[in-house]
Amino acid sequence: MKKDLHPSNYRLVVFKDMSNEYAFLTKSCINTNETVKWEDGNEYPLVKLEISHTSHPFYTGKMKLVDTAGRIDKFKNRYAKK
């Protein structure tokens, strides 16, 4: 096998689904500036997700319209003038 192929800076990181507040702790080497206090009392880096397996329609079986920052309203306002 090749040497130094995989990153060596793996650490525990919290990933949080912002649509339903679901969070899980796993190992990752992703860079982040935010931290969060976890259930065990320790502080870990935080990565915010827009969607995860707990909110994705494929896994939940429910369709959900996600309107981020009022994109539909912005579109209607932009083209209502014409």
List, for residues 1-30, the tens digit of each pLDDT value: 788 888 888 999 999 988 888 899 999 999
pTM of the complete model:
0.65
In the chain, domain spans: 11-80
Bridge partners (DSSP) of residue 11 are: 28
Q: In what order do the strands lie in the sheet with 11-17?
A: 23-28, 11-17, 43-49, 34-37
List, for residues 24-81, the tens digit of each pLDDT value: 999 999 999 999 999 999 999 999 988 777 776 665 666 655 555 667 777 777 787 6
